Structure 1
Amino acid sequence: MHKTFGGERLLTEIDFARLNNLSGTQFPPELVDTLDSLDLVPSREIPPDVVTMYSQVIVEDLASGKRQRLTLCYPADAEPHLGFISVLSPVGASLLGQRVGATARWRTPNGDECAAEIAALLFQPEASGDYTT
């Protein structure tokens, strides 16, 4: 499946396969919705400004203006206090497939609405030639 790269959210085929192979995992509704709306592309064709698994981003909270460095990861590698955010979390699901400049939106467990702009993508595995991480 090859589609044009407009404003849609993209996901590498390998990230999609790995997410679907997480054993014993109940996906949160946010991630199910995200996976249903993403366009799949081969890793070598993902644009360098798209958040993929293990991408490191700077996000800016729209309410406070606070900037934070986050790395999107699988649940086993999550360490939120160090900025490693699981793709199964509301924040992680909202970042997956977004482009630099996009606004990620999510709800906290207590129902508060949050939003942050993806201000920069510091590292994307595919952009550095790593198509298997």
Structure 2
Amino acid sequence: MEVLAQERLLTGLDHARLSSLLFKPRFAASLPAGLAETARELLDFARVVDATQVDPDIVTMRSRVIVERPGIGEINLCLVYPSEADPDSGCISVLTPLGLSLLGARVGQVITWTGPDQREHSAKVLRMVYQPESAGDYAV
């Protein structure tokens, strides 16, 4: 699963919360094969910044973005923690291949992920609808 093709930027709070989830053995064991390792790699290699310093075009936790999928069109997504996921309403868990591809991505970037069908999928991050840090919501 290739999600580290480009440098990722994460806020310190997002990094800490995701690390906390991934280092709970029972939780990590419940993830699909390889996903926990991919998430740990993302956390290990990401550049971590204070929430007040994150660029407004970076996808952070609880950001809402519009992505465009080839042949499908525009989709409104919100990046959330696993307990908040609701794919039918566009709330995508960060601990899915799509979610990991979105985390730390920049508006204008093309993201790729391997779907449940074992095929590679892609989408372009078109625009940011809401980023908590840009709105001054540093603790969400």
Report the TM-score, using the length of structure 2 for normalisation. 0.84
Counterparts of 1:37 and 1:105 in 2: how far apart (Å)? 18
| Percent identity between the two aligned chains | 42
RMSD over aligned Cα atoms = 1.4
Letter in 2 for 1:99: R
Equivalent residue number for residue 3 of structure 2? none
Counterparts of 1:8 and 1:106 in 2: how far apart (Å)? 16
> Does the 8 Å CA contact 1:59/1:68 hold for their aligned counterparts?
yes
Instruction: Choose which of 44, 59, 68 in structure 1 pairs with 2:67.
Output: 59
Equivalent residue number for residue 17 of structure 2? 18
Equivalent residue number for residue 133 of structure 2? 126
Counterparts of 1:32 and 1:111 in 2: how far apart (Å)? 21
Equivalent residue number for residue 73 of structure 1? 80
> Does the 8 Å CA contact 2:19/2:43 hold for their aligned counterparts?
no
- Structure 1: tracts of 5 or more residues without a match: 1-6
Counterparts of 2:39 and 2:71 in 1: how far apart (Å)? 25
Moved over 4 A (4+): none
Counterparts of 2:107 and 2:57 in 1: how far apart (Å)? 6
> Does the 8 Å CA contact 1:34/1:94 hold for their aligned counterparts?
no
Give the 3-state SS of the residue equivalent to 1:20 in structure 2: helix
> Does the 8 Å CA contact 2:19/2:40 hold for their aligned counterparts?
no
- Structure 2: tracts of 5 or more residues without a match: 1-5
Q: How many residues align?
A: 126
> Does the 8 Å CA contact 1:46/1:126 hold for their aligned counterparts?
yes
Counterparts of 2:38 and 2:103 in 1: how far apart (Å)? 11
Counterparts of 2:72 and 2:41 in 1: how far apart (Å)? 27
1:1-133 aligned at under 5 Å gives the runs 8-22=7-21, 23=24, 24-26=26-28, 28=35, 29-61=37-69, 63-133=70-140
Report the TM-score, using the length of structure 1 for normalisation. 0.89
